[in-house]
Amino acid sequence: MLKSLKRLAAAAFALTALVPSTSAYGEGLIRISQQFGTLYLPLHVIRDQNLIEKHARALGLNDVKVEWAQLSGGDAINAALLSGSIDIAAAGIGPFLTLWDRTDGAVKIVAGLANQPNYLVTNNPDIKSLKDFKATDKIALPAVGVSVQARILQIAAEKEFGKGNQNKLDNNTITLAHPDATAALLSGSTEITAHVSNTPFQEQALKDPKIHKVFSSYDVLGGPVTPTYLYTTTDWHEQNPKTFQAFFEAVKEASAWIEANKKAAAETYVRVEKSKLEASFVQSLIEAPENKFTVVPSRSFAFADFLYRTGAIKKKAEGWKDYTFNELHNESGS
């Protein structure tokens, strides 16, 4: 009897861990996570220009409270969203789809952040392709197995080694935040010899002649990719319609402003992040043709299809609109 009760208690705990908390819901409060890199520039602009507050006032919410949390890695962000510690998660398509699957669709995408490539960079001159990695070569990325960088590496591995071999390099991967991974790669004094990175860290690393690029996610996926998204629970969306709308409008305005004001946007990034990078360097990244700030998802379904096909998720999406909120459905996403 005691063993049965313990099993029931464990099952109940496991179930509640996958059900988003509703204890902190209430119009006028929004708590947002963000990570490291210029991908998150729309959030910096929103914060710097008080755009949520602006759009909230237009909707009749005059006392909206906005809180920010700096987190790293999809696992930590998903845990924070499920526990009710944050309302808006900012993480890669990999962690999002994992959570969408595990909650049976109880989380959905609010908006994309930008189309930006992720590079696999290395300090090992002998590594020209994935086939050159040895067991001793460790690849840093934000979250082993679930981050968008981890999924890009798996898609690349499947292409390189054939179907069924998507996990070929999983044992080479190590969880490390982008700033720390970049420092480790540049130092050359650790077991880390490669990094599936993002902007501006990958470009910063490539300034060093000892670092070279192995691949770009654009090569792996066949074109521009939106790697990172803003997402929330369907409950929060339904119970906070004005706060949600204020946030959604703020993201759209921030993205459009960045595209129209790239010099000022670079200065915003340096100021808000307290970055030591030169604003002119950040501006050159924002102005690169392969970078575009837009809320419209690009090639997200390629990840959803891959994860379902390889058994990483059990829930099948028929298209990108299955896991995004209606507010995006008039756009030409993918």
| CATH number of the domain where residue 37 is located | 3.40.190.10
Predicted confidence at residue 15, as pLDDT, reads 35
Predicted confidence at residue 265, as pLDDT, reads 97
Q: How far is 70 from 90, CA to CA, in rounded Å?
A: 10
235 and 284 co-located in one domain? yes
87 and 231 co-located in one domain? yes
pTM attached to this predicted model: 0.86
Assess if residue 333 is contained within a domain.
no
148 and 237 co-located in one domain? no
Q: What is the per-residue pLDDT across 72-105, written as a single tens digit (0 to 9) for each?
A: 677 889 999 999 999 999 998 988 999 999 999 9
257 and 182 co-located in one domain? no
23 and 63 co-located in one domain? yes
15 and 89 co-located in one domain? yes
213 and 246 co-located in one domain? no
User: How many domains does the chain divide into?
Assistant: 2
Predicted confidence at residue 99, as pLDDT, reads 96
Assess if residue 154 is contained within a domain.
yes
Q: How confident is the model at residue 71 (pLDDT cuts 50, 70, 90)?
A: confident
Domain end point (choices 221, 240, 273):
221
Assess if residue 247 is contained within a domain.
yes
Q: How confident is the model at residue 121 (pLDDT cuts 50, 70, 90)?
A: very high
Q: How confident is the model at residue 26 (pLDDT cuts 50, 70, 90)?
A: low
91 and 196 co-located in one domain? no
Domain end point (choices 221, 245, 261):
221
What's the average model confidence in pLDDT over 303-332? 97
Query: Is residue 212 pLDDT above 50, yes or no?
Result: yes
Domain that holds residue 139: 119-221
57 and 188 co-located in one domain? no
Q: Is the peptide bond before 289 cis (omega within 30 degrees of 0)?
A: no
Predicted confidence at residue 27, as pLDDT, reads 86
Domain end point (choices 204, 221, 238):
221
Burial readout 49-82 (b: 16 or more C-beta within 10 A, e: otherwise): eebbbebbeeeebeebebeebebbbbbbbbbbbb
Residue 85 is encoded by which pair of tokens? 């510690």
